[in-house]
């Protein structure tokens, strides 16, 4: 814990040296910890919280964001909401290997422009140290645009972020990762509103049956269900399996299969 405390002191030091900071706030645990730390270090007047709304966000994401803001941040914090439309970007809609790069570059370019208009020259996001060791095309856009990643700079990985968030009383410390709906569609398959709506509806149906943190992914010819490790035991019940099958059949036009790899 002493090492973790040292990393948190380093995080605060990084933020303090900036003087003021604009933060790309998604509502996930990483950006929540970053925003909370920035406010406690600099005060609300020197922190610009920005959130981008798009058709790629699920209703659950929007609800979680509202809960985080009302529960974990002062009422004096003003969050600025920007509306963007990735489904109108041709280079995004082809859904090739550069999709995440295109999306992140477009979004963060908009955030940088917005921040500068408000007198903030530094934009930071919640990238953690573990992210830097994974295949994440969006990180290239972050680097190109000069976006800061204080959590990663302080050497904080995902589990450490969760530990710190819990120690600070942040309510989403154990919230499952929740990437955008476009990540549910396999590379090379067309992204459209109808497909995004289907995977969201299928995930909502599974959540309602107790499978929180699940994913439903679209692949050529089928859908793949991913559930958390601790939820596999529930599938011993044949009645529950039948109910899942019936509900998903009402939503998905192709067969759904279960991944045996537990989702963390």
Please report, in tens digits, the pLDDT of each residue of the chain (264 residues total). 469 999 999 999 999 999 999 999 999 999 999 999 999 999 999 999 999 999 999 998 899 999 999 999 988 889 999 999 999 999 999 999 999 999 999 999 999 999 999 999 999 999 999 888 776 788 999 999 999 999 999 999 999 999 999 999 998 988 877 789 999 999 999 899 999 999 999 999 999 999 998 999 999 999 999 999 999 999 999 999 999 999 999 999 999 999 999 887
Write down the H helix ranges in the chain. Answer: 2-18, 29-42, 59-72, 90-93, 99-117, 138-145, 150-153, 158-167, 193-208, 238-251
User: Residue 210 has what pLDDT?
Assistant: 95
**Three-state DSSP class for 188?**
coil
Of 69, 87, 67, which Cα lies nearest the Cα of 78? 69
User: Residue 246 has what pLDDT?
Assistant: 96
User: Residue 110 has what pLDDT?
Assistant: 97
Pick 192-258's CATH classification: 3.40.50, 3.30.70, 1.10.3470, 3.30.1370: 3.30.70
Q: How far apart, in whole angstroms, are the C-alpha atoms of residue 85 and residue 44?
A: 29
Please provide the size of the chain in residues: 264
Q: How far apart, in whole angstroms, are the C-alpha atoms of residue 123 and residue 149?
A: 9
181: left (phi over 0), alpha (psi -120 to 50) or beta: alpha
The ranges assigned to domains in the chain are 2-167, 192-258
- How far CA 150 is from CA of 13, 15, 147, 184, in Å, comes to 10, 7, 10, 28
204 by Cβ neighbours in 10 Å (0-12 / 13-18 / 19+) ranks as middle
Classified by CATH at the fold level, domain 2-167 comes out as Rossmann fold (3.40.50)
Phi first, then psi: what are they for 128, rounded to 5°?
-105, 175
With vertex at residue 132, the alpha carbon angle to CA 126 and CA 138, rounded to the nearest 5 degrees, is: 70
User: Residue 2 has what pLDDT?
Assistant: 63
User: Residue 133 has what pLDDT?
Assistant: 79
């Amino acid at each position: 814990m002493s090492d973790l405390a040292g990393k948190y002191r380093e995080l605060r030091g990084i933020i303090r040296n900036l003087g003021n900071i604009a933060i790309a706030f998604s509502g996930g645990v990483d950006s929540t910890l970053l925003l909370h730390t920035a406010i406690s270090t600099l005060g609300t007047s020197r922190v610009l919280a920005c959130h981008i709304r798009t058709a790629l966000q699920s209703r659950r994401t929007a609800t979680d964001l509202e809960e985080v803001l009302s529960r974990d941040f002062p009422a004096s914090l003003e969050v600025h909401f920007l509306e963007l439309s990735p489904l109108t970007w041709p280079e995004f809609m082809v859904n090739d290997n550069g999709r995440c790069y295109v999306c992140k570059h477009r979004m963060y370019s908009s955030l940088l422009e917005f921040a500068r208009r408000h007198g903030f020259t530094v934009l930071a996001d919640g990238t953690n140290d573990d992210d830097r060791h994974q295949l994440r095309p969006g990180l290239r856009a972050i680097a190109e645009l000069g976006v800061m990643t204080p959590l990663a700079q302080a050497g904080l990985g995902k589990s450490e972020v969760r530990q710190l968030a819990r120690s600070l009383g942040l309510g989403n410390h154990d919230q499952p990762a929740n990437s955008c709906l476009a990540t549910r569609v396999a590379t090379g398959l067309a992204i459209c509103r109808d497909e995004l709506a289907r995977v969201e509806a299928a995930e909502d149906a599974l959540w309602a049956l107790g499978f929180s943190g699940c994913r439903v992914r679209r692949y050529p010819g089928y859908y793949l269900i991913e559930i958390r490790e601790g939820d596999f035991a529930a599938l011993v019940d044949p009645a529950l399996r039948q109910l899942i099958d019936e509900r998903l059949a009402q939503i998905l036009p192709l067969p759904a299969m279960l991944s045996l790899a537990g989702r963390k």
